[in-house]
Amino acid sequence: MRIRLPHNYQPRSYHRRIYAAWQAGCRHLLLVIHRRGGKTESLVAFAPQLMLARMGNYAHVFPLLKQAREVVWDGIGRSGQRYLEHFPASLLYCPPNKGELKVTLRDATHQNAPGSTYQLYGTDHNLNALVGSGHVGVIWDEYALQNPQARDLARPILAEANGWEIVPFTPRGENHGYDLYRFAQTQPDWHVEYLTVNDTRRDAPGEDGSPVITDEAIAAHRAELLARGVQGVDSLIEQEYYLSWTAPMPGAYWADELSTAQRQGRICPVMHDPSKRVFTAWDLGTSKAHDTNAIWFCQLAGNRVQVIDYHQASNKGIPYYVQMLEGKGYTYGAHYAMESDLAEADWGSGKTRGEQLAAFGVRFLPVPKLKLVDSIASGRMLIPRCNFDAGDAVRVGLNGLRSFKREWDAEKKIFKDKPLHDWASHPASAWRYLAVAMEQIEHVSPPRGAQSKVDFDVFAVGRSARPARTDFSVF
């Protein structure tokens, strides 16, 4: 039997360049492309060829698992054909598994045995499920909207397997997508495409060679956005079609304040001052969802807030965080978290997180309670007071703050008055807690050797990890 791949699909010239780079041996391919450029269907159509070339597990990753299901599993391409029909029926070992969003091909040499698998994932779900399957190829679709921690976890696995990755996305501000684009441009083993609407045409066999997105279509989109009263229309158009990195992410809460910080040079080298105490604010994600725990580190310098460090991790126990704090070598002033987060039972121990942390000498003060909208406003007001370290650690946190945005109502075509819960929620929540706690931080931040207003020893970590008194209450 002879089967032509890609199956039932005619790639355009800019899609064929990605194929050619992979066939030439490139294992890191980055595609920055305008909206509606056909990137997802082209990569789904290319998947069977990759799966037959090497036996293994292949992942197609989206920001949200729901998005993966809607775009690919239920998706229909420009020709009216379902995306899954790009997997030839004669190559399938079994019907596609809707529950696992997985396609399994036949073994190329033993037709009655299972071969390579293609599976959809979302970085809003348990990241361990993604990294635990030993993938030899990963497509990071809409990477600028994804939790970048997923790729960080998968990179060692891909390197050990001599695997490959394809990273397609449309810009969403100067976040981790922008960082990766800048890095990839300096690497000889990366293939990079940067395609605005001026760079793509309908030039596949049978097409007429016209622009993929016409000026008339862009003008109509702009008019519709204006009619709906959408703010920042020109910035949105520049981002979606002309790949502007400086356009803020649509619906982002703190984009303007962070852009101003960048423009004013307040994202710069900020050194830890050993003569001053360090304060931290924590978002402790729920252990049931294997959430990320996010921590901001800051010092006070007069009225300025020096943001010197950031740390995030998932699926780690209390001892990990105690060791992390001590390993930094800081002298701490106070640690802040929500009382509800501290009261939650820790991973597998039956004790609350606050009780476990206190047993190691890490004492917390509860963050004052505010309405969500008020804490978001506090987070916004704090940014102009801050200098942010330009190092890799804080930049990870800043990418989260830039990506913190309102939830989109697809039916009404408007942003809701509540945040989208995704990977950016964790650094953003920790930032909100830092902002709300700032009045207390300023109150309990005496010079070294001065008397603190806190009635227990919040400075224990960094000196000793001896257990605290059993009758201590973190509240």
Radius of gyration of the CA atoms of the chain, in A:
25
pLDDT value at position 437?
95
Q: pTM of the full predicted structure?
A: 0.79
C-alpha 465: how far from chain center? 33
pLDDT value at position 80?
86
Does residue 467 have a cis bond before it (omega within 30 degrees)? no
Backbone angles phi, psi at 32, to 5 degrees: -95, 115
pLDDT value at position 100?
95
pLDDT value at position 149?
87
pLDDT tens string, the chain, 475 residues long: the values are 678 899 999 999 999 999 999 999 999 999 999 999 999 999 999 999 999 999 999 999 999 999 999 999 999 987 888 999 999 999 999 999 999 999 999 998 887 899 999 999 998 876 777 776 789 999 999 999 998 989 998 999 899 999 999 999 999 888 899 999 999 999 999 999 999 999 999 999 999 999 999 999 999 999 998 988 877 788 889 999 999 998 877 788 998 899 899 999 999 999 999 999 999 999 987 655 456 899 999 999 999 999 999 999 887 888 899 999 999 999 999 999 998 888 887 655 678 888 888 888 888 999 988 899 999 999 999 999 999 999 999 999 999 999 999 987 767 767 888 998 888 999 999 999 999 999 888 876 554 444 433 333 443 443 333 333 323 233 2
Domains of the chain: 13-195 (3.40.50.300), 267-443 (3.30.420.280)
Specify whether the CB–CB gap between 400 and 373 falls below 8 A: no
pLDDT value at position 333?
92
| 431 to 92, 103, 151, 254, 392: CA distances (angstroms) | 48, 41, 23, 11, 17
pLDDT value at position 270?
97
Specify whether the CB–CB gap between 334 and 444 falls below 8 A: yes
